[in-house]
């Protein structure tokens, strides 16, 4: 396939379909192996041909990472604007007896419509520390 043919196939719209499909699968906790089928379905429903390229699991994961980084940057920007923030951690043990910590951040965010500050709680990360010491927990970057 020539680069010109690839360019024709990958219009802005078909790129957006891929990004949205990866985001949807990750958000709904659906296997990334469904990526190719999902984008084919979306394209066909819109009167286009099924995807010929960029339809494998690797593309899905790379797209999901790009979306996650975008949302993480937006969250960091909001936290930087806040006068106060707090970190909340909850410990749990999964069925395989692995210790896990779920981490949230709570901060003040200015409401765009009325300018009032409101409390927001956002998920940060789920980590499996080597042990319960502060040192093993703080090595993770958020």
Rounded (10°) angle between helices 12-27 and 57-81 = 80
| Residue 124 in domain | yes
* Domain end (from 20, 41, 70): 70
* Residue 119: alpha-carbon gap to chain centroid: 22
At 40 the pLDDT is 93
- Residues pairing with 121 in the sheet: 106
| Number of domains the chain contains | 2
At 36 the pLDDT is 93
Is residue 50 located within the same domain as residue 107?
no
Per-position pLDDT tens, the chain of length 142: 444 444 445 788 888 899 999 999 998 999 999 999 999 999 999 888 888 889 999 999 999 999 989 988 998 988 898 888 898 888 877 677 777 888 889 999 888 889 888 999 998 887 887 776 767 666 655 5
Is residue 7 located within the same domain as residue 61?
yes
Is residue 99 located within the same domain as residue 57?
no
Domain that holds residue 36: 3-70
At 140 the pLDDT is 58
Is residue 54 located within the same domain as residue 92?
no
């Amino acid at each position: 396939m020539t680069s010109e043919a690839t360019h024709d196939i990958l219009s802005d719209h078909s790129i957006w379909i891929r990004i949205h499909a990866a985001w949807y699968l990750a958000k709904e906790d659906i296997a990334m192996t469904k990526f190719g089928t999902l984008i084919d379905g979306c394209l066909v429903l819109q009167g286009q041909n099924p995807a010929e390229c960029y339809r494998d699991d690797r593309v899905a994961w790379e797209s999901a990472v790009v979306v996650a980084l975008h949302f993480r940057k937006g969250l960091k920007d909001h936290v930087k604007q806040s006068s106060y923030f707090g970190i909340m951690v909850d410990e749990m043990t999964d069925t395989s007896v692995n210790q896990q910590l779920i981490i949230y951040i709570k901060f003040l965010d200015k409401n765009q419509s009325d300018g009032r500050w409101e409390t927001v709680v956002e998920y940060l990360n789920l980590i499996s520390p080597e042990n319960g010491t502060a040192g093993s927990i703080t090595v993770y970057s958020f």
